[in-house]
């Protein structure tokens, strides 16, 4: 995202639940898989999200910004203000269960990433693993993509493939997809921060050297 060699990129992670992908990103930052980066804040729209405690244990600042009676746009403006106050330059959605409005998209255009448990464009939205089983596909996986105004429809950065086994349940399939999510998300974030890609139409292509 920048050509400055030693710039520390400041990441903000939005969660609503357990935060396992947030932990995978934190580990990747700590171990140098994502270089020149720091997760400066984890924001949850739910005060009881288990990921908040996990983030605090990692020494990461946590914030709870609940929607309550505010409109979606008012809620998002509060989150945007918190991110800007901490100079966040890349936002990672990690199990954040709200669809972002154009207000947020425009504030962090091409600087917001999401991970989804299917091979998009197949099975967007909720219960992607159940959708895959009910559809009878033989392969599914996970996708990291830029967030735009569409539901799970932004340009694809990274995908990992997972076989669907005959005896799979939603739980077993979800667990195997999650293991790949924990690899795909750090790889995608590292690639975006390196800036070694070009966006042509809907395609995220490796930048020619």
Q: What are the structural domain ranges in the chain?
A: 9-206
pLDDT at 72: 94
Q: How far is CA 155 from CA 15, 115, 144, in A?
A: 21, 12, 9
Q: What is the mean pLDDT of residues 119-125?
A: 98
Lowest mean pLDDT among 3-7, 28-32, 149-153: 3-7
Q: What is the mean pLDDT of residues 36-49?
A: 98
Pick the CATH number of 9-206 from 3.40.50.170, 3.40.50.720, 2.40.30.20, 3.30.160.150: 3.40.50.170
Cα angle at 186 between 181 and 191, to 5 degrees? Answer: 125
pLDDT at 84: 98
Give the tens place of pLDDT for each residue, 1-12.
544 446 899 999
Report the percent of the chain where pLDDT is more than 70: 96
pLDDT at 152: 97
Q: How many CA atoms lie within 13 A of 112 on its CB side?
A: 22
Give the tens place of pLDDT for each residue, 76-96.
999 999 999 999 999 999 999
Active site residue 116: yes
Catalytic site residue from 9, 75, 87, 116? 116
Using pLDDT thresholds of 50, 70 and 90, give the confidence band for residue 209.
low
pLDDT at 6: 60
Q: Where are the alpha helices (DSSP H) in 15-156?
A: 20-30, 50-57, 72-85, 102-107, 128-135
Q: What is the mean pLDDT of residues 41-59?
A: 98
Q: What is the mean pLDDT of residues 11-29?
A: 98
Distance CA 86, CA 89 (A): 9
pLDDT at 1: 55
pTM (predicted TM-score): 0.94
Tokens of 2: 């920048």
Q: How far is CA 25 from CA 120, 124, 177, in A?
A: 21, 23, 16
Lowest mean pLDDT among 40-44, 156-160, 187-191, 199-203: 199-203
pLDDT at 7: 84
pLDDT at 206: 85
Q: What is the mean pLDDT of residues 119-123?
A: 98
Exposure b/e, 39-72, CB count within 10 A at least 16 = b: bbbbbbbbeebebbebbeebebebbebeeeeeee
């Amino acid at each position: 995202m920048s050509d400055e060699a030693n710039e520390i990129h400041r990441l903000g992670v939005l969660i609503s639940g357990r935060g396992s992908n947030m932990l995978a990103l934190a580990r990747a930052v700590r171990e140098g898989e994502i270089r020149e980066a720091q997760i400066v804040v984890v924001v949850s729209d739910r005060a009881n999200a288990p990921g908040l405690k996990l983030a605090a244990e990692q020494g990461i600042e946590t914030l709870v910004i609940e929607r309550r009676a505010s409109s979606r746009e008012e809620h998002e403006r509060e989150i945007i203000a918190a991110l800007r106050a901490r100079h966040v330059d890349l936002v990672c959605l990690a199990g954040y269960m709200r669809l972002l409005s154009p207000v947020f998209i425009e504030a962090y255009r091409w600087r917001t990433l999401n991970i989804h448990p299917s091979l998009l464009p197949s099975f967007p939205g909720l219960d992607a693993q159940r959708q895959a089983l009910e559809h009878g596909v033989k392969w599914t996986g996970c996708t990291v993509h830029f967030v735009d105004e569409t539901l799970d429809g932004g340009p694809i950065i990274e995908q990992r493939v997972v076989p669907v086994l005959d005896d799979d349940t939603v739980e077993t399939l979800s667990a195997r997809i999650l293991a790949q999510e924990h690899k795909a998300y750090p790889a995608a974030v590292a690639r975006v921060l390196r800036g070694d890609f070009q966006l042509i139409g809907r395609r995220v292509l490796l930048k020619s050297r």
